[in-house]
Amino acid sequence: MICSVAAIVLPPVAAFEFGVACEVFGIDRSDRQDGVPKFDFRVCTPKPGLLPGKTGFSLQVTEDLSATETADLVIMLPYSVNSPCQPEVHQALRAAHERGAWVLSVCSGAFALAEAGLLNGRRAATHWMYSQQLAKQYPEVSVDENVLYVQDGNIITSAGTAAGIDACLHLIRTELGAAAATSIARSMVVPPHRAGGQAQYIDRPISVSECDTLEDVLVWMDTHLSEEHSVSALAARAHMSERTFARRFKAETGTTPAAWLAAQRVLRAQGLLEETDLSIEAIARETGFGQAVLLRHHFQRTLGTSPAAYRRTFRGVTPATELTTV
């Protein structure tokens, strides 16, 4: 479990991305009954002192990179991609990875991981503006410029700005469960889950006639997960043709209606496994999968574990009716 976090900052400090790390891991929420601990959160840099920011501010950093030596999570925040970071940063990142700690980069922070050799042979993400540069400079890295974040082993790389929130919440969900991630998201007033495969940005301009989003339809789908949803029915609800709806859905979410529904159903199943004693069969019906075998299939594909194992991890107990249903 993550107890200690070290965030590496280099000048010029990016305010938003630095704020994301502070908001998710630096605020004490341990007084709530949702499994969010108080993290030992530290900010560090190779040479402590007053670091200039990108937007008219300075940040006083008092700790050096020794803060990373015992951290369960090391976060590499953005820096100028045209200025290679110091060798001691590479050493700190490698040491963290070698001892099994989580390593997470936000935006251009992925370049530091690549420079350290941690991304060789791995998939990785960064801000779409830098993705081609990262791929060109480090051909050993499989750069995916169309996703919000990528987890490969104990390394997570995210795209720019708000995608850092998604990557951090993904890690919270992985380590502490859906309830903890939802609690933090609620306090930040952000969605508790956006799948890593969602597109970073809309890759074509939206015409004036298409300025309305599908938010109402997405909210309705999310509150009716137990029901069947055909593209034709969803298109009718959105007052669009099936072709237009499919195109707009892909543009806004980066995926298909079926894939989006499956991801939301798995997320809902996580919550039910943590918070209720419902059987796997009942949860499959409640979330719209219908049968336990389908729930297990999607759960395994998405999270790499079974519903029963997930419940044991985040609740410590398994209903007797499920002891043989793994």
Give dist(CA 94, CA 89) in Å, integer. Answer: 9
Cβ pair 262, 240 in contact under 8 A: no
Which tokens in the block code for residue 321?
A: 């009716």
**Structure token digits, residue 325:** 């249903």
Residue 203: predicted pLDDT: 43
For residue 316, name the pLDDT band (cuts at 50, 70, 90): low
Tokens 């801000």 correspond to what residue? 127
Mean pLDDT of the chain: 88
Contacts of 223 (CB under 8 A, 6+ apart): none
Closest CA to 35 of 158, 174, 134, 231: 174
* Per-residue pLDDT tens over the stretch 4-26: 999 999 999 999 999 999 999 99
Residue 322: the pLDDT is 44
Question: Rounded to 5 degrees, what are φ and ψ at 74?
Answer: -115, 125
- Over residues 215-231, mean pLDDT: 91
- Residue 133: pLDDT band by 50, 70, 90 thresholds? very high
157-205 pLDDT per residue, tens: 999 888 999 999 999 988 998 888 888 888 888 876 665 455 444 343 3
Exposed/middle/buried for 46, CB within 10 Å: 0-12, 13-18, 19+? middle
| Contact of 96 with 71, CB cutoff 8 Å | yes
- Helices of type H across the chain: 15-25, 87-98, 109-115, 131-137, 163-176, 178-188, 215-222, 231-237, 242-253, 257-275, 280-286, 292-303, 307-315
Structural domains in the chain, CATH included, are: 4-188 (3.40.50.880), 203-326 (1.10.10.60)
Residue percentage of the chain with pLDDT more than 70 = 89
CA distance 49 to 274: 44
pLDDT in tens, 252-300: 887 899 998 998 899 899 889 988 999 999 999 999 999 999 999 999 9
Q: Are strands 155-158 and 58-61 parallel, antiparallel or unpaired?
A: unpaired
Res. 301 pLDDT band, cuts 50 70 90: confident
